[in-house]
């Protein structure tokens, strides 16, 4: 009986943690604390993906968002020469209307999800997806995969070239 309810309890706890961290992101007065809460929220979202059997999406979430986006955000914070201790008000005067709208959208989504997913909450037979995606990318789709990598390499070289600027003569 416990084996049946344990994933649901873990999912609920992680969802509550994700909602709490998301609230910290939008209400934090310190930009640095908001960035750290965002990294934690994205990590918990990756944990939810892993719990639901989407291990490829969870790994992508960790690598792309938590790794890449958070490093960029921390560089922006460090290079903006803005005092980290400075506490600014992050909300504007329309926060109440935004909260009411968010509550209405949340209630609508809950009603729709309950109508669509009656009784289906957790799929214990969910199989990992990494192996099949890896076989697909390095098998049948190897040419498009490598073409995309060449396009990304060309974009990187172009960004470096345009970032250097022209020397004045």
Q: Is the pTM above the cut of 0.85?
A: no
Q: What is the DSSP string of 122-144?
A: --TTPPP-HHHHHHHHTTTTHHH
- The model's pLDDT over 6-51, given as tens digits with 9 standing for 90+, comes to 777 888 899 999 999 998 988 887 777 888 899 999 999 999 988 8
Q: How confident is the model at residue 84 (pLDDT cuts 50, 70, 90)?
A: low
Contact indicator for 90, 28 with CB cutoff of 8 Å: yes
User: pLDDT: is 32 or 155 the higher one?
Assistant: 155
103 pLDDT more than 70? yes
Burial 98-122 (b: 16+ CB within 10 A, else e): eeeeeeeeeeeeeeeeeeeeeeeee
């Amino acid at each position: 009986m416990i084996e049946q309810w344990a994933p649901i309890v873990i999912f609920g706890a992680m969802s509550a943690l994700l909602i709490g961290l998301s609230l910290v992101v939008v209400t934090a007065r310190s930009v640095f604390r908001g960035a750290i809460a965002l990294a934690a929220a994205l990590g918990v979202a990756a944990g939810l993906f892993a719990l639901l059997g989407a291990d490829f999406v969870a790994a992508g979430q960790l690598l792309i968002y938590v790794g890449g986006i958070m490093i960029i955000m921390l560089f922006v914070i460090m290079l903006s020469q803005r005092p980290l201790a400075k506490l600014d008000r992050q909300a504007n005067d329309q926060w109440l209307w935004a909260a009411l709208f968010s509550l209405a959208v949340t209630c609508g989504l809950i009603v729709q999800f309950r109508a669509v997913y009656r009784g289906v909450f957790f799929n214990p037979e969910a199989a990992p997806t990494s192996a099949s995606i890896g076989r697909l990318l390095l098998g049948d789709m190897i040419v498009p995969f490598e073409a995309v990598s060449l396009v990304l390499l060309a974009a990187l070289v172009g960004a470096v070239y345009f970032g250097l600027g022209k020397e004045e003569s």
